[in-house]
Chain A
């Protein structure tokens, strides 16, 4: 049984815009799954349908085998939703927002108290529980939505850009928290614009563009299709011309201390470093020019063959 099974899901809005053109998607139980796509690709429509906020035009959605249309109560009770936009009553205290959500899912108040204490402590909001939500910072509001989504112990957690606008330190602590939740058996579907986040966290990935799933595979196999990667090398010595390098390396001089090199998949970084060293050039530091998934993502969306291997 899949945590999520989508068959031929279509959505055409009243203005005629076809946001989803019959997508199929399966997410395994226990997976940490990335659903990526550019703005307007259909991600939000898809998540809107999963959360019952958008009515589908046709197709089938099953949550742990329960049809979202025919067994709506069973299906909904398995989902925890963290939306992109804040959707709580800003005048309500934090603790009350969590307690109410537990109540909507029919969780007895004793369990709600226990659960909310646990999640608010885990997410660093316990001492803010009596504050009105409007008094929280942006990062706290995001964490509040995560705590709220978990109060009924969902089996499938959908995170729609949970770390948008959150600083890197807090983002990392949220990643750790989400990993723990996943390790405890909760299936997670993540949409994000931070592709580094998706690459680090997710085992499987689907990329959606213009209402179609254009890639649906494991993160490992997707990244292995990358034909070449671009690295930036910071040299200790200064150079005025592009060093002569044998092999299929494409070398560009950025400034007198910086080289940018496209390294084909069949070549090793070691071979490049040895050649540079042979010319008396020492490498101070090096880094990936862009995140690998980002490189793939951009090429897939732009429908380019390179750098993706077919």
Chain B
């Protein structure tokens, strides 16, 4: 058996373990974001949405739908990796991997696969729930899938960095609460940035989540505040930066080796 085949077995093992982890506790990992988004659809879409009227030439519920799906993908993929990685550190079973002959990149890819799987599972579940509130035709399914995949990858990477530095369970929730949620809400889920004063439009452009939500919205509806040729490269640049950071942290053993 070649070394590459051994790495493949190790990758499949970590990925399967990560997917099993969140699948076993689906009531905690899949159901809550679905309920939250269903409430958003009900309140902001059906109840308040009708009074708001149209946004970017479409009904308000259709406008917010891609952003809400994206929000659940972001929070789920991030939460999966940060909680799994920190949990493994906390109960020391991360050592099972660290003593094994697995390159760090395989460990990283295994955790990322878990994060992506949860992000996409929740995204799919939320999309199905959306169908109960509105009907829609997907403008570009390939783009929708690509953006969902890249976004869940990006936030899985971010979750791993958080997991590396976390020294308590409080640290696991600080970034999602104080950074991720505000950036997501201000990333154009509920509004088009064209509605903002010019200065706030420019400030919004430094929010990376804006690019993801708009790319995703373009894939679903064919409308976006941001040019896709700008949005996609920005997402990819962020992925490259975070991937490099993750590899650096794992190779240096920061937070996991003494």
Contacts and interface: CB of A to CB of B under 8 A. Distances in A.
Contacts of A99: 13
Contact of B258 (A53, A86, A106): A53
Interface string B1-21: 101011101101110010000
Nearest to A105: B100
**Contact count band on B:** 20 to 34
B6 to A, nearest CB: 2
A92 to B, nearest CB: 8
A17 to B, nearest CB: 12
Interface in B95-131: 95-103
A106 B7 contact: yes
Nearest to B95: A87
Given A83-B95, A90-B91, A100-B96, A105 B258 contact: no
Interface stretch (A74-82, A166-174, A209-217): A74-82
Interface in B1-53: 1, 3, 5-7, 9-10, 12-14, 17
A53 B97 CA distance: 10
A218 interface: no
B253 A55 contact: yes
B101 A87 contact: no
Interface string A225-240: 0000000000000000
Contact of A72 (B12, B96, B101): B101
Interface string A81-99: 1010111111000001001
Contacts of A72: 101
Contact of B101 (A55, A77, A102): A77
A274 interface: no
Contact of A100 (B1, B13, B95): B13
B92 A85 contact: yes
Interface in A53-84: 53-55, 72-74, 76-77, 79, 81, 83
A101 B96 contact: yes
A108 B88 CA distance: 24
B243 to A, nearest CB: 21
B101 to A, nearest CB: 4
B99 A51 contact: yes
Contacts of B100: 76, 101, 104-105
Interface residues of A, number: 34
Contacts of B9: 103, 106-109
A53 B95 contact: yes
A271 interface: no
A118 B219 CA distance: 53
A48 interface: yes
A241 B98 CA distance: 63
Most A CB within 10 A of own CB, among B5, B100, B253? B100
A56 to B, nearest CB: 10
Contacts of A102: 13
A194 interface: no
Nearest to A133: B93
A106 B5 contact: yes
A21 B9 CA distance: 39
A100 B253 CA distance: 22
A105 B5 CA distance: 11
A130 interface: no
A13 interface: yes
B252 to A, nearest CB: 9
Contacts of A87: 91-93, 95-96
A52 interface: yes
Contacts of A103: 9-10, 12-14
Nearest to A87: B92
Contact of B257 (A53, A77, A105, A106): A53
Contacts of B95: 51, 53, 83, 87
Nearest to A90: B91
Given A73-B101, A101-B100, 5 more contacts: A48-B258, A76-B99, A103-B10, A104-B100, A106-B10
Interface of B: 1, 3, 5-7, 9-10, 12-14, 17, 88, 91-93, 95-103, 253, 257-258
28 contacts: A51-B95, A51-B99, A53-B95, A53-B98, A53-B99, A55-B258, A73-B101, A74-B101, A76-B100, A79-B99, A81-B99, A85-B92, A89-B91, A89-B93, A90-B91, A100-B13, A100-B96, A101-B96, A101-B100, A102-B13, A104-B14, A104-B96, A104-B97, A104-B101, A105-B101, A106-B3, A106-B5, A108-B1
